Each structure stands twice: as C-alpha cells, then as structure tokens.
A and B are shown apart, each in its own frame.
Chain A
Amino acid sequence: MPAIEMLQTEEMKKRYLRTEGLNSLWCPGCGIGTISGAIVRAVENLGLSQDEVVIVTGIGCSGLIYNYLNFDGFHGTHGRALAAATGIKIANPKLKVIIPMGDGDCAAIGGNHFIQAARRNIDLTAIVINNQTYGMTGGQYSPLSPHDSKHTTATLGHIEEPFDLCRLAAGAGASYVARSTAFHVHQMVDLFSNAIAHPGFSVVEVMSQCHVHYGKRNYSEVASEMLFWYKDHALNVNRASKMSEEEIGDRFITGELVNRIRPEWTAEYEKIIAKAQARSAEEKARQDVLHREKEFDKQSQPEHQGDEG
C-alpha cells in the first residue's frame, strides 16, 4: 500500500498532530495511538479538509484522543459522545463527525445512544476501541469483556457473556459495520475511510490492546504479544463466510460486515424543512385570502351597518 508510505511523513505529523498535548497520557504500547494514526490517515486518504472534521469523545482512555489531533474537538461526559455528536451533525450537516469511544463508553453507559444512533442512521462514524476492559479506572469488566476473563471487579472470572458489538450495531440498523484490530493497520485505515465516507451511521470496532490492565490478568502484559494474539485470532469475513461456527471457533470476524444504503437522518430532515415551509406558505396564502375577503366585505357594506339592529 504505497498510500500509507506517503502518509508517514513529517508533513503529516505537522498537519494533523498537536504536539502541545504531548507527552501522551496513554501507557507505552497502548493501541489507541495506532488507532489515532489510522483516523488521521483515513482523513488524508479521503482528501477531507481539516476544517470539516470534528472529533467527539466521551470519557476513558479513548476520550483523550481529542488532545492530540488537530481538528475541532469535543471532550464531554461519559457515554454521551454520540448524543453530543448527533447535535453537532444535525446543526451543521456539512461536518464529518468522528466519535472514538471505548467499549465501556459505547456499550455500557452509552449503550442506548449507540443503538438509537444506529436506528436513526444519522451520518456519524463511531470508532469503538475495544480493549475489553475499563482501562482508565484500572481494569474492571465491561459489556465487551469475554466470559471468564479476569478483572479487578471479577477476580474469580467474569460470569457474563459479552455483546457482539458489530451484530448489535447491525441489528439496531447501522448501515455500515466493520471490525479490525490494532495489528491490522492497513485494513483499519481502509475501513475507517469507508466508514467516514459512508452516508449513514457507520461503526468500526477495533480490537485494541490494554496489556497493562487487561493483558496482564488474562493473556500477556506485553503489548506485542497481544497484537500477535489479535493477528492469530482475526478471521477475515470473506474466509469466515465459507466456514462453520465450529471452524470459526474463538476467532473474531474482521472486515466489512454490513454496507447498505438506508435513508439518512439529516437528509430526511431537509425534506421535512421543505414540507414545513410549503405548509406554512399555504397557510399564509389562506390567511391572506380570508383577510382580503373580510376587507372587501367591510368596504362593500358600509351603508347597511346598523340596519340589522
């Protein structure tokens, strides 16, 4: 992929990264830096103006992304990033609104906003950084934590089953759904590009290592070992489509899972504006006619006033 090579330049860094915000608040080896880089490359690939992109975040490690990217940015409340993004997009539909969220931010406290945004099919791009735990608070289980995984709030193993976030998004109506990992950078950039360009609610789930809080309790506290685990356990959707559930086993499916066109909210609302303005113009015309008739009656019958007592 020569495009990626081209993007590795100092020029790219200068344009898209805010160095004032550094040192990075993320732990060394964290996947979020890689994902941030992929977001920037997707923006560059699409030839978008920096001025038309807004990065909207909630709370958690993912909520720090706005700190390092040179776009308009928003750091709001836990779980509510998609709701704020909805207001931004509706008020200015020209903006490309990208919402990086963690698995807790998106699927726990923000779960309702996630499925409602998918149902509405509003043109936002949700990038769900799934490290399968709450990283910032030190490793508690999330709705995307695997069964029997270990967390500070489940030291004996987690008794719940996780959501399959992509199926949840697809079921709720998202019109673009994809999955990648922090290892598959090229794929991730392509999927981000497709998602941002897609006219509707798009979701890309990215498996991303939190070796510090999740890895050390469950697999490995070495970032690279977790990345290789993702490499080994990622199964491309094209291959998976020819395999049985048993053959797929504990691997997760990556690539483009849903890509369909559904009516998009802001485009549909433009039609409502047109209808509402037509309705009010009709109403005004009707009122004008009534008014003129009344005036005419007044002028044509002055001498009869009082006759009817």
Chain B
Amino acid sequence: MSSNLKLMSGNEAVAEGAIAAGVRFFAGYPISPSTEIAEVMSRRLPEVGGKFIQMEDEIASIAAVIGASLTGVKAMDATSGPGFSLKAENLGLAVMLETPLVLVNVQRVGPSTGIATLPAQGDVMMARWGTHGDHSIIALAPWSVEEAYYLTVKAVNLSEQFRTPVLLMSDAIIGYMKERVILPDPATLELVERPRPRFAAGEGEYLPYGADSTLVPPMAAYGEGYHWYANSSYHDQHGFEATANNREAEYLLWRLHAKITEHRPEVMMTESYELDDAEIVLFAYGSVARSALAAVRQARQQGIKLGLLRAQTLWPFADLEVKAIAQMPNVKAIMVPELNMGQMVTEVRAAAGAHVPVISLPHYDGTMIKPASILASIDRFYRGELTEETRQIPELAIARHYS
C-alpha cells in the first residue's frame, strides 16, 4: 500500500485519474494553470499504449478529442479560462454528437487574459451556458488533490454512461497544490464503458441516435462497419438531417437533456457537514469548500451553529438538496462563498425560494477566501449588518468612489 502513497499536485492527480479510468487519447494546448495535465499525459499515455498530441490551438485540441472518441477511445482535454472560451463551440458539437469526453478547466481569474496563475471560480456559469443553444451538461468540482483523482475517474465514467461531455471544474489552487494522496490499485476502480450496439455490423439496422428507455443511444466506433454519421445538425435516429422536421428536433433536444436529468441520482453528488441543527448553512464547491469547512469547525468551537453543503456536482444543479435545507426550520440563512462576483448563488437563491435569505459572499481578487472572512460575514449577519440586499463594495472602490 505504501508504494501508492504519493505527494502530487491536483493537475498530476487529474492525469493519473484519467489514465486509471482508461483514457487513452489526450489532445491539448499549453495554458496556465492547466499545462501540467498535458505534460503528464504526454509522458504517461505512450507508456500505456495511448496517444498524445499537442495541437495548434485549443479549438483543434477539443476537435481532435471528439474525433478520437468517435473511434471508441476514451479521450480527454484540459484547459483554462481563455482556452475554455475557445472550446465553447466544439463543446456544443460534443453535446450534439453525443460524444463521451472529459474537458478539464483549471479555472483562473478572468475575463480575458485576467490573472493567469491565480485561482477563480468565474467559469461555473460558462460551464453551464458557455456554448450556444440550449445544451445539456455535467460538471464536477473537486476540493482536494485526492478528489481530483477520483472525480476525474467519475467524470470519465459519467461521460461514457451518458454519451456526453463532462466538465471537471478544477481551479488554480487544486491544480497547483501538492497533497499527500493514496492512489488506489486501478484494478479496484469501477469503470464504465459506453453503451454498445447489440448486434454486429450488418446484422441489423443500427440507429446511432435511437435510444431505448435509458435515453442513451448505443455507440458504434468508426471502422467497425456500421457506417454511421456523427451529425452536428439536428438529426433523426439514423443521423440524417432533420432540420425541417420540428417534431424530431424537439425530441432530440429533449432527449439530450432528459438522458441526464432523468438519471439525476446517478449524477448528483453532494456532501453535508453539521447540517442537523445548523442556523446558517454555507453552500460551497471546489477549493472554497475547504475554507468553508474550516469555518464550520471554527464556528462550532465558538458555539455558532454553522453547517455546510458541498456540491461535487455543479451541473445539473443540486436544487433539491438546497431546497430541503431552505425548508429546515432552524435555518436562518444560506451563504454562498465563491471565487467570483456571485454566480452559483443565483441557482441557490432560485432553489431556496422565499424560505430563507441567500447571501452571496463574493471574492474575486485572486486569493483564497479565508475562514476568518466567512466567520466575519456570519458575525455581521447576526448583528443585522449583512442581508441579501447589502451592497458589497471592495475597499479600493469605497476609497476612490464612495468617500
């Protein structure tokens, strides 16, 4: 067991998780703070008979990953902010072609070039809505190096199970931080393979977009003789253009969503800490959830009834879980610390409804949120100084514009 004890970064853990999950193709393009994932994959993949290529840009790399996946190979790509923007169109292509792949976004401060090596969570809404059209998506967020490994395996599994791209929303803290991890024997991992046609090529009519009650169509690989189309236009069950067939178009878009939402329990992962008697509940995800848990521990020592709901699955959103908390009689408020100006807080607010106030704790200077800062906000709440409506203006802005 001790030989599996490693000191590694989140980026390295993502790469090792991918290899363990059976990823055998990676196309990437260097960008901070995700580059180490590509570097490790370039070394590790050929060792296990896999393939790595550094493409000419971020668009080409996700396109190549889609192509590789269509040949039946588990495939992955990794990037950060600007690269995530560039990949947006082809992420929609992967949704439409129902191509399993994992795209890792090691988030940095944006918009634009932003601050290349500092952490943020500013892409979580883009993860949901970043490509044009009404698409479906799964997104996961790890809070530790070890979890970066396991959620990468989970992301690959979900992508295969549902024939969909899955986003792993890491950040510069998780990506760069080194922690002690104990890697499992890969043979003990439960791996999922995409659903396959039930008959050999030529022995029946293969419908590449014809789904059974799972709503996930079986997937042939190129070169197996099925002669099927991966079609980015609206298509019928055969893959033929259905752009003039409104009923087929409506059905396809419904199925792309429903194949995920109808299997919500298999996708949804959250963790609860100290919720039973909590008066205030933090909703947090990714690296911020570490500060949130530290705040919970410190608050409890001071006799403050603070709890935490940590979302490992960002999308689909944990609305039922949030709603249940909002309806708990003890809960006076939900607070949402995030490394952005307040993105997931809008979802939390929608799920909580009118039951409790949902207060945003935005943090967007490129540093980590400190537990003390969360505790200070709780103190302000109890003193009546912090409500949903409180304008939270940065120090420099007050000095320059409000004094």
Contacts and interface: CB of A to CB of B under 8 A. Distances in A.
Interface of A: 20-21, 25, 50-52, 54, 56, 59, 66-67, 70-77, 80, 83-92, 94-95, 112-113, 116, 269, 272-273, 275-277, 279-280
Contact of A51 (B61, B201, B229): B201
Interface string B63-80: 111111111110100000
B232 A95 contact: no
A112 B66 CA distance: 18
Contacts of B64: 83-84, 86-87, 90
Nearest to A92: B71
Nearest to A291: B3
A92 B70 CA distance: 10
Given A88-B68, A269-B51, A51 B63 contact: no
21 contacts: A50-B225, A59-B232, A67-B241, A73-B227, A73-B229, A73-B231, A74-B70, A75-B232, A75-B233, A77-B63, A80-B59, A83-B61, A84-B63, A85-B67, A86-B55, A87-B27, A87-B69, A92-B222, A92-B223, A113-B56, A116-B56
Contacts of B55: 83, 86, 116
Contacts of B93: 76-77
A262 to B, nearest CB: 17
Interface string B213-237: 0000000011111111111110000
A31 B64 CA distance: 29
A56 B231 CA distance: 10
A118 to B, nearest CB: 11
| In the A-B complex, the 7 residue pairs with the closest CB atoms | A87-B67, A87-B64, A276-B46, A83-B63, A91-B68, A83-B60, A84-B67
Contacts of A89: 67
Given A76-B93, A83-B63, A273 B56 contact: no
Nearest to B50: A273
Nearest to B224: A51
B60 A72 contact: no
B89 interface: yes
B51 A90 contact: yes
Contact of A83 (B49, B67, B97): B67
Contacts of A269: 46, 51
Given A66-B231, A74-B229, A91-B24, 11 more contacts: A51-B225, A59-B232, A66-B229, A75-B231, A76-B93, A83-B55, A83-B59, A83-B67, A88-B67, A95-B222, A276-B47
B6 interface: no
Nearest to A280: B47
Contacts of B27: 86-87
A66 B70 CA distance: 15
A250 B367 CA distance: 63
B302 to A, nearest CB: 46
A181 B232 CA distance: 29
Contacts of A71: 227
A276 B70 CA distance: 26
B53 interface: yes
B240 A20 contact: yes
A77 B232 contact: yes
Contacts of A20: 238, 240
Nearest to B57: A112
Task: Name the residue among B60, B67, B232 with the largest chain A CB count within 10 angstroms.
Answer: B67
Which one of A67, A73, A77 has the greatest number of beta carbons of chain B within 10 Å?
A77
A279 B55 CA distance: 25
A76 B60 CA distance: 12
A76 B96 CA distance: 10
Contacts of A86: 27, 53, 55, 60, 63-64, 67
Contacts of B228: 72-73
A44 B248 CA distance: 35
Given A83-B59, A276-B43, A277-B46, A72 B226 contact: yes
A279 B75 CA distance: 24
